Structure 1
Amino acid sequence: MASSQAQATDHDQPTAQFEMVRRAPSPLLAGVVTDLVGYRELVPVHIRQNEAASLTVPLVISFGEPFAIGLSRTPGNSDRFASFASGLHAGPVVIESFGRSCCVQVNFTPLGARRFFGIPMCELADRVVTLDEVLGLAGNALQERLGQETGWRQRLDLVEGWIVERLVTTAPPAAEIAWAMAKIASSNGRIRIASIAGEIGCSRKHLAAQFADLVGIGPKAVARIVRFDRTARLARSAVGVDWADLAAECGYADQAHLVREFRELSGSTPTALLPKPG
């Protein structure tokens, strides 16, 4: 599965082990899709990726060997998936491949995924679900059409057009939850959930139910991921990180709290996520 931290491009980026094509979506998919990726491994070697929790819902359509995927754990022999979707997960995702994977990956926003798949997002949260289960015969037909194409540009054009056509018959999610997600993001995950419920005019229980349907996880979990993501980005861009100061700036009770959150959401210590020197 293509890492969400790779450089954004609109052309082939071959490395010693894989090639990747990354494209921003057309304006017609604004707020629904963040990017589209073509990914192909070039040499038969074992590749292991650890991806931290994020607010991305991936759809992967494969033409090669399956990936091994574990949610907050090392994947086992029964955790092989070729074409699949995966909902939000407030923890790390361990992805292993073996040098022969090839796929198109569409990265949805949570609300975009709810609109596209047309099912409650709690049915995808903390799960990896096969293409058959989420898109049925239409998904299989799309996979076959994509497999017949030989160029990444043609494949990405095809899948993007297919998504646009599918969205014509679906309505955007409730404006209140879109507003709540934006409020959490603009506050860097520090706004009180009771405040959001109060501004919308509903109970926290009702808000949690709406988030389960439209996002997949609760507003508090969304806020944790937003806060973690900001903290990780600030740490990566800093020259010499003072973790106690960063914890205070980002809304953690103390440095120990920050460390616990990093372990739970990324499976790593804060320092392990910093760029390697040289």
Structure 2
Amino acid sequence: MVRAAPHPGLRPGVMSYRGFRTDAGRLHRSLEIPVGVVSLLLGLGKPFRVLGSSRDPRGACSSTALLCGLQDRSFVGERDGRSAGVEVVMTPWAAFTLFGVPMKELAGSVTPVEDLPDPEFGELNADLCAIRSTGG
């Protein structure tokens, strides 16, 4: 995992970037605990899966790009053993400014970006995946 500070013009709304790569060769599950931030997870390849939360076990989803709203309960995330991506950690007001979705609509949920009102976010992740596959 590599952590980086955002450009000064994006602070204080964007708090950090976290790049990661796992090469475990097996399925990886993690318990995601609630924190007071919104995260945009951009996968570079295989989709991430959310297995639901204790509040809504039916809330399972899968996507290469996920928006994690403010949480008040833990949930289980799952990814194949070989994965890579970037997480953008931001404040709730910055997420509202960027996505135009009231945070109360995202609270307690993990939403595939293709389900957001603005389709450009799904295209962004597809573009990132394309760059990675061409070695750019």
TM-score, with structure 2 as normaliser: 0.81
Matching residue within 54, 61, 68 for 1:72: 54
Q: Deviations over 1:108-145 (max 9, x none)?
A: 11111111111211111111111112263311332233
The match for 2:30 is: 49
Larger radius of gyration between Structure 1 and Structure 2: 1
Question: Number of residue pairs matched?
Answer: 132
Tell me if structure 1 keeps the 8 A contact 2:64–2:125.
no
**Structure that is richer in helix per residue:** 1
1:33 aligns with 2:10: no
| Alpha-carbon RMSD | 2.5
Partner of 1:48, secondary structure, is strand
Q: 1:137 to 1:74 in 2, by over 3 A?
A: closer
Structure possessing the higher relative contact order (Cα contacts under 8 Å, 6 or more residues apart): 2
Q: What fraction of aligned residue pairs are identical, expressed as a percent?
A: 33
1:117 aligns with 2:102: no
* Ranges of 4+ aligned residues in structure 1 off by more than 4 Å: 73-76
Matching residue within 64, 68, 88 for 1:86: 68
Tell me if structure 2 keeps the 8 A contact 1:73–1:94.
no
Q: 1:34 to 1:72 in 2, by over 3 A?
A: farther
TM-score, with structure 1 as normaliser: 0.43
Q: Deviations over 1:151-200 (max 9, x none)?
A: xxx8xxxxxxxxxxxxxxxxxxxxxxxxxxxxxxxxxxxxxxxxxxxxxx
Any stretches of 5+ residues in structure 1 without a counterpart?
1-19, 155-278
Any stretches of 5+ residues in structure 2 without a counterpart?
none
Q: Deviations over 1:5-30 (max 9, x none)?
A: xxxxxxxxxxxxxxx22211111111
State the shift of 1:59 in Å: 0.8
Alignment of 1:100-249 (within 5 A): 100-134=82-116, 136-150=118-132
**Structure that is richer in strand per residue:** 2
State the shift of 1:80 in Å: 2.6
